[in-house]
């Protein structure tokens, strides 16, 4: 297409497009979709989402779809929530954007205050960025610099200890501490080496043990690594309570608090990546609160704006902050920033998001939904090709297997999880798989009858794809 010089010329060019030149055609011709096999996408009929309403997304043909994964784990109170819409309108009448480099603005300062008021005790400083990957990247770089600048420097602490199957984003620092082979193996030559502890995956324990007789030997594995590298580990990086991209792996109770104790004993910091599990997903506002843990860094994104705008925050302690405190000539500055970090529109909506938690008593209203999900997940355990069902709060993962007794997975080439999700889409439900693990992560605003609808569709689709059953 030509590059039009004005609006009138652009409209003329658009009107000259051939009749078949639609949004779908333009998408196939120009848009590169993330985490998507390109040939499969171009061979498919793209779903064009036009608007949202509550827990539903509506396409350009008027069909409604229950948003079963919260538009990639970020929508909290539903689409087009009146309070969030109004906060955005009010703010855009005042200020759309202003940098935080050298100036400030009310929404960012107010949001930082509110986050400190609600976060685990001791997290008093907030660094704003754009998304989950940047929030974790900030924590990694701050940790590295902290050990060079603290009152008693420990420059030998350059290593990060992370978990097998960990996922912390797609920037190079995050990929270095990530452990999803399918996503990260390609980029090995670009990465720094991380120490890797086995994931506390009770269904497929890498240590060959079983709960509850294992005595949390996965924590013992972490301690052995710390013992083998005395004084070298700068931080332990963890997705608290649940590893998302690894397959919705729910950690055993006590694992997170055990990591906190080990990090303190060995002089390392703890980076808690709550990008996916923060803002009520686990039943508490922050996942760390379930085990009364205050990390040294708390990384937040996704649900921070209720799923409206990209915004992220890295929270840390006065101890960390003090290591960077000084004048320009002191050379302690953290030379890192993002153009839209702390964007006023995002911060204003994030403040409204927190107010809705209070006014609608969101966390209290979650409990019946969590109980209903627990009860309904039992229906999945009766299916022949469901190997494991894992739940944490209003999050669940259903692992599909070729053979239940041996836990043998389906061949990757069969794409069983993707087929189940494709069939669910035809029934008006949008969900995404992680391999052959079906992800259940609806908006917190979902009603009980909608939750039942979602699970009924999933059960039918699992049976249809894995058993050839049609109802």
Q: Return the axis-axis angle of helices 217-228 and 255-265, rounded to nearest 10°.
A: 20
Dist. CA 149–CA 144, nearest whole Å: 9
Report, as an integer, the average pLDDT of 434-462. Answer: 98
**226 lies in the same domain as 347:** yes
Per-chain mean pLDDT for the chain: 94
Report, as an integer, the average pLDDT of 423-452. Answer: 97
Contacts of 250 (CB under 8 A, 6+ apart): 202, 241, 242, 390, 391, 392, 397
Residue predicted with more confidence, 253 or 5:
253
What local confidence, expressed as pLDDT, does residue 105 receive?
98
Of the candidates 194, 108, 138, the residue with the CA atom closest to the CA atom of residue 324? 138
CB contact at 8 A, 63 and 324: no
Domain-located, residue 331 = yes
Domain-located, residue 172 = yes
**344 lies in the same domain as 385:** no
CB contact at 8 A, 279 and 285: yes
Is the pLDDT assigned to residue 13 strictly greater than 80? no
Is the pLDDT assigned to residue 470 strictly greater than 80? no
**228 lies in the same domain as 160:** yes
**178 lies in the same domain as 100:** yes
**284 lies in the same domain as 384:** no
pLDDT digits (tens, 9 = 90+) for 182-195: 898 999 999 999 99
**319 lies in the same domain as 435:** no
Of the candidates 289, 286, 287, 294, the residue with the CA atom closest to the CA atom of residue 264? 294
Domain-located, residue 24 = no
Domain CATH number, residue 414: 3.90.1150.10
pLDDT digits (tens, 9 = 90+) for 122-167: 999 999 999 999 999 999 999 999 999 999 999 999 999 999 999 9
**329 lies in the same domain as 452:** no
Contacts of 154 (CB under 8 A, 6+ apart): 147, 231, 267
What local confidence, expressed as pLDDT, does residue 1 receive?
38
Please state the pTM of the whole predicted model.
Answer: 0.94
What local confidence, expressed as pLDDT, does residue 20 receive?
40
What local confidence, expressed as pLDDT, does residue 8 receive?
59
Report, as an integer, the average pLDDT of 168-173. Answer: 96
For the chain, how many structural domains are there in total?
2
Confidence of residue 7 (pLDDT cuts 50, 70, 90): low
**277 lies in the same domain as 300:** yes
**276 lies in the same domain as 366:** no
Please give the C-alpha separations between residue 174 and each of 21, 134, 161, 193, 246, in angstroms, as whole numbers.
39, 8, 12, 12, 15
Domain CATH number, residue 337: 3.40.640.10
Residue with tokens 């997290």: 123
Dist. CA 225–CA 245, nearest whole Å: 24
Is the pLDDT assigned to residue 12 strictly greater than 70? no
What local confidence, expressed as pLDDT, does residue 18 receive?
46
Q: What is the DSSP letter of 428?
A: T
Domain-located, residue 22 = no
Structure tokens at 379: 């229906």
Strands 433-434 and 395-400: unpaired
**134 lies in the same domain as 268:** yes
CB contact at 8 A, 51 and 60: no
Is the pLDDT assigned to residue 5 strictly greater than 70? no
According to the 3-state scheme, what is the secondary structure of 188-232?
HHHCCCCEEECCCCCCCCCCCCCCCCCCCHHHHHHHHHHHHCCCC
Segments forming the whole domain that contains residue 55 = 47-77+362-467
pLDDT digits (tens, 9 = 90+) for 71-88: 999 999 999 999 999 999
Domain-located, residue 9 = no
Contacts of 327 (CB under 8 A, 6+ apart): none
Is the pLDDT assigned to residue 2 strictly greater than 60? no
Domain-located, residue 230 = yes
**268 lies in the same domain as 333:** yes
Domain-located, residue 14 = no
Is the pLDDT assigned to residue 19 strictly greater than 70? no
CB contact at 8 A, 311 and 301: yes
Domain-located, residue 463 = yes
pLDDT digits (tens, 9 = 90+) for 336-366: 999 999 999 999 999 999 999 999 999 999 9
Largest Cα–Cα distance of the chain, in whole Å? Answer: 73
Q: Return the axis-axis angle of helices 416-426 and 448-467, rounded to nearest 10°.
A: 130
What local confidence, expressed as pLDDT, does residue 345 receive?
98
Range in 51-60, 210-219, 317-326 the model is least confident about: 210-219
**117 lies in the same domain as 72:** no
* Last residue in a domain, options 303, 337, 359: 359
* Last residue in a domain, options 331, 359, 387: 359
What local confidence, expressed as pLDDT, does residue 6 receive?
58
* Last residue in a domain, options 359, 391, 423: 359
């Amino acid at each position: 297409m030509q590059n039009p010089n004005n609006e009138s010329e652009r409209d003329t060019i658009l009107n000259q497009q051939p009749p078949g030149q639609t949004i779908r055609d333009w998408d196939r011709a120009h848009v590169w979709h993330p985490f998507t096999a390109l040939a499969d996408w171009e061979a498919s009929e793209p779903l064009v989402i036009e608007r949202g309403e509550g827990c539903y997304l509506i396409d350009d043909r008027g069909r409604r779809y229950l948003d079963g994964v919260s538009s990639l784990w970020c929508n909290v109170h539903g689409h087009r929530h009146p309070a969030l819409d109004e906060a955005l309108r009010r703010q855009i009448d005042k200020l759309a954007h202003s940098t935080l480099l050298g100036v400030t603005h009310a929404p960012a300062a107010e949001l930082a205050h509110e986050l400190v008021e609600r976060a685990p005790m001791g997290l008093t400083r907030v660094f704003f960025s754009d998304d989950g990957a940047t929030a974790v990247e900030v924590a990694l770089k701050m940790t590295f610099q902290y050990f060079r600048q603290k009152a008693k420097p420990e420059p030998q602490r350059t290593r990060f200890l992370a978990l097998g199957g960990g996922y912390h984003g797609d920037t190079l620092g995050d990929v270095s501490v990530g452990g999803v082979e399918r996503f990260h193996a390609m980029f090995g030559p670009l990465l720094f080496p991380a120490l890797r502890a086995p994931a506390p995956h009770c269904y497929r324990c890498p240590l060959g043990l079983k709960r509850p007789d294992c005595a949390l030997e996965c924590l013992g594995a972490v301690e052995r690594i710390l013992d083998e590298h005395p004084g070298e580990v700068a931080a332990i990086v963890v997705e608290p309570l649940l590893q998302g991209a690894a397959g919705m792996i729910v950690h055993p109770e006590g694992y997170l608090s055990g990591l906190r104790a080990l990090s303190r004993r060995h002089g390392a910091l703890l980076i808690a990546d709550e990008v996916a599990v923060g803002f009520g997903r686990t039943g508490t506002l922050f996942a760390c609160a379930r085990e009364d843990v205050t990390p040294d860094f708390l990384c937040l994104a996704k649900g921070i704006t209720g799923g409206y705008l990209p915004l992220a925050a890295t929270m840390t302690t006065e101890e960390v902050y003090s290591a960077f405190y000084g004048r320009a000539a002191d050379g302690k500055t953290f030379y890192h920033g993002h153009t839209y970090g702390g964007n006023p529109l995002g911060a204003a909506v994030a403040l409204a998001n927190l107010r809705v938690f209070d006014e609608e008593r969101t966390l209290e209203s979650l409990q019946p939904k969590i109980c209903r999900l627990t009860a309904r997940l039992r229906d999945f355990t009766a299916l022949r090709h469901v190997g494991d069902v894992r739940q944490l709060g209003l999050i669940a993962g259903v692992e599909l297997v070729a053979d239940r007794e041996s836990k043998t997975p389906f061949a990757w080439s069969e794409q069983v999880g993707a087929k189940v999700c494709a069939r669910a889409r035809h029934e008006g439900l949008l969900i995404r798989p992680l391999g052959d693990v079906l992800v259940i992560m609806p908006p917190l605003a979902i009603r009980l009858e909608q939750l039942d609808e979602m699970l009924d569709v999933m059960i039918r689709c699992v049976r249809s794809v894995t058993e050839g059953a049609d109802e």
